Structures are given as C-alpha cells and as structure tokens.
Amino acid sequence: MNDLRDVRCLAAAGVDYESARAWQYATAAAVRAARDGGSAEAVAMIEHAPVYTMGARGGRATLRMPQEALPAPLVDTDRGGDITWHGPGQLVVYPILDLRRRGMGAAEYIGALEGMLLDTLGAFGIAGELVEGRRGVWIGNEKIAAMGIRVQGGVSMHGIALNVAPDLAWFDAIVPCGIEDGGVTSMARAGVRDVAFEDVRAAMRAAFARRFQAMLVDVSPAEARAALGAGSGQPGNREAVHA
C-alpha cells in the first residue's frame, strides 16, 4: 500500500475495560461496513483503569491467588493469549484496521506491531528483543510489551501493551501471559525514568503511522473519553495470537 490512509486516533486515561471493548466491537463493525467507500479505521492509545484480562487460551491456573482476592477485576476476553494486567503507567494500543483491504495477513500484521514496539523503545535508547516462540517484546528474560490480538471478518481488534512506568507489583498476583519462566519489566526499570508518558505516546504514534502508512487524525479529548468510557484522567474468518 503506497497511499496514506486516514486513521482516527483516540487518547484517554482511566479507561474502563468493558467500555473500551464495546468501542472496539462497534468500531470494527463500522470498518467492515465502510469497505464500499471511505474508511472508519481507528486506533486507541490509552491507559486503562486497573484490570486483569484473560485471553482465549488462558485458564485460572495462571492466578497466584483466589480470583476474589485479586486487587483488580478479572475479565475474560476473546483475544489471543493468557492472563495479563492493564492499568496506570502502561500504554495500551488498540488498532482497529481493515487488514483485508490493506492486503495484510495475520503474520504481516503481527510483524508490523512488533516493529512498532521496537521503534518506540528504540526512540528512548532501549533495545527490545523478539524471542522465537514467544510473542511480545523482551529485554533478556523479562517482557516489556505484551501482545494479544483477534482478527474477525478481516478487521483487527485488541492489540499491544507497553509497560512505561507501571507499578509492576500488580503482576505478582498472576503468571503474566502464562509464562512461568519469564518475568516482566518496564521502560522505567530499563533506565528510562524521566520521560513523560505523553512523549512515549508520541513516539508510538510516529511508529504506528510509519509501520501502517497512516495519517493519524486526532479525536478531541472529550469525544475520546466519551467513546471509550474513560475517567477524568487526561492523556490525552477468525484468528487469535497468544500474548
């Protein structure tokens, strides 16, 4: 694809997971409906309110405590992968893209997401790594960015989560991504402690635009918060892939 395509970009903090999931499904339906003309593609770059999410391949064996004792709600999802945590200090990106119209298969899409993450980390001097047989981006044996997607009717949903500077203690309650012999880390733990969250989001925007040949069109903060079910914080065929 040579031409840039408009993609609406939403940014918000304190986003309720269920509301964001409803937005994804509504947006994906709009993208499929727009195939005969125009484009309704969008990407959300957000921080969630604290929540644990379980992927389609997950199970309660990856909890390290009873579900009722978890410090945040647990939500079952239809994305690929196992269990993870989302919350403050973590940048979550949900691209709702027409992969069929773009001529992208699942493998090419995953590669673009991985490249986007590597580009973003590289902008801050962090050399992320891809590990054969494991999704996401790693630093040594610790995962800094997780991935869990779903492709339905040729349109992507769910996405990636980059640990910028979250409290990593949230992960103590689970086996992150179901990987017993791997840990989690963050940009802050990797030595990037003074960067603003908005600077990381800006780097992610640039990497997204480059990797997906997109012209990002900003949605107003008020509209984004309303669409995504955000709090008052400012950011501003079927296939699944495991996290």
Return d(Cα 243, Cα 138) in angstroms, integer: 12
SS3 148: strand
Contact 76, 55 (CB under 8 A): no
Of 93, 177, 240, 243, the catalytic one is: 177
Terminal CA-CA length for the chain: 27
SS3 140: coil
Return d(Cα 11, Cα 234) in angstroms, integer: 8
Q: Which two tokens stand for residue 61?
A: 């064996």
9 catalytic? Reply is no
SS3 54: strand
| Ramachandran region, residue 171 (left: φ > 0; alpha: ψ -120 to 50; beta: rest) | alpha
What residues act catalytically? 177
